[in-house]
A and B are shown apart, each in its own frame.
Chain A
Amino acid sequence: MGIVSPGFHGRRSAAAPELPPGQYLTEDFPVLTAGPTPRVPTDAWEFTVVTEAGQRYAWSWADLMALPGQTVTVDLHCVTKWSKLGTTWTGVSLDTLLENVETAADYALVHSYGGYTTNLPVEDLLDGQAWIAFKYEGEDLAPAHGGPARLLVPHLYLWKSAKWVRGIQLLNEDEPGFWESAGYHDYGDPWREQRYQGD
């Protein structure tokens, strides 16, 4: 993918209000990956939530498919400065998945197949802000983009939307994830340009 000159996008220039500061618009969907891509068959796939008390909740792929799905259109903002607007995803809201989970934890550490982790406050997973997404633009989510299922939490930089999501650990104390422990911002709000620690 080449460098996109903001001048070629007219009203959607870097100064346009629909883009957070420092971002440029891209039409394609760059694949970022910090390691090998796991090929998780859906019949072996499992999503778990483990609470601060150690209580474990688990969903098989069939369990996930049986839950009410939502289709949402959201903008994606990657910390490497590209943004992609108006992407459509289908998934199950974390409100649905966490509805009957007994917890008072404030923090979540998200785990992926392949060992990736990322942290965020539990409140950012709730109130229609986060999904376990399994379709992108109406198609099954490709492994390169995190399939069979990824976390989608589009109001934060995209590294928080963990590909190949496997589970969520609910914690009383904040625990930094893969990039958060290597210089990236703990929260990662694109509109406040929280890229690196100290931003």
Chain B
Amino acid sequence: MTPFHGPYDDGDYADGNALAGPLREIFAVDLTAASGRCAHCGAEGPVALLRVYAHAPGLVARCPSCTEVVMRLVRGPNSAWLDLRGATSIRIPLGVE
């Protein structure tokens, strides 16, 4: 279906720092310092600036430029599901070798 272009209310979201704890459980690095490229509009920016909708069955992180979904994180009792199909890449700053 063609996208519905609005109007929309923003709804209740937090910034990407809300992802810090849940992602640290999975990755050894702090991914909120990483930057990602949105698969929908191509905008690149830090994970910490994503819009995180947390009042939902999982965490839904959306692009601040186009509001499409960049990342979804679902935490079950025994597994976590991380869906990154909305990000073409994630650049993670690492220490100099």
Contacts and interface: CB of A to CB of B under 8 A. Distances in A.
Interface of A: 30-40, 79-80, 111, 113-115, 143, 159, 166-167, 179, 181-184, 195-197
B57 A79 contact: yes
B55 A36 contact: no
A172 to B, nearest CB: 19
A61 to B, nearest CB: 15
A183 B74 contact: yes
Contacts of B11: 33, 35-37
B83 A182 contact: yes
Nearest to A36: B8
Contact of B1 (A166, A183, A184): A166
Contacts of A34: 53, 56-58, 60, 69
B89 interface: no
Interface of B: 1, 3-4, 6-12, 53, 55-58, 60, 62, 67-69, 72, 74, 76-77, 79-81, 83
A182 B79 CA distance: 11
B9 A37 contact: yes
User: What is the interface of chain A mostly: helix, strand, loop, or mixed?
Assistant: loop
User: What is the interface of chain B mostly: helix, strand, loop, or mixed?
Assistant: loop
B74 A33 contact: no
A39 B6 contact: yes
27 contacts: A30-B55, A33-B53, A33-B55, A34-B53, A34-B56, A34-B57, A35-B53, A35-B60, A35-B62, A35-B69, A36-B11, A38-B4, A38-B6, A38-B8, A39-B8, A113-B4, A115-B4, A115-B68, A167-B1, A179-B57, A179-B74, A182-B72, A183-B58, A184-B58, A184-B74, A196-B79, A197-B81
Contacts of A40: 4
B9 A181 contact: no
A114 B83 CA distance: 19
Given A34-B60, A181-B83, A183-B81, 12 more contacts: A31-B12, A33-B12, A33-B53, A34-B58, A36-B8, A36-B62, A37-B11, A113-B4, A179-B58, A182-B58, A183-B79, A196-B74
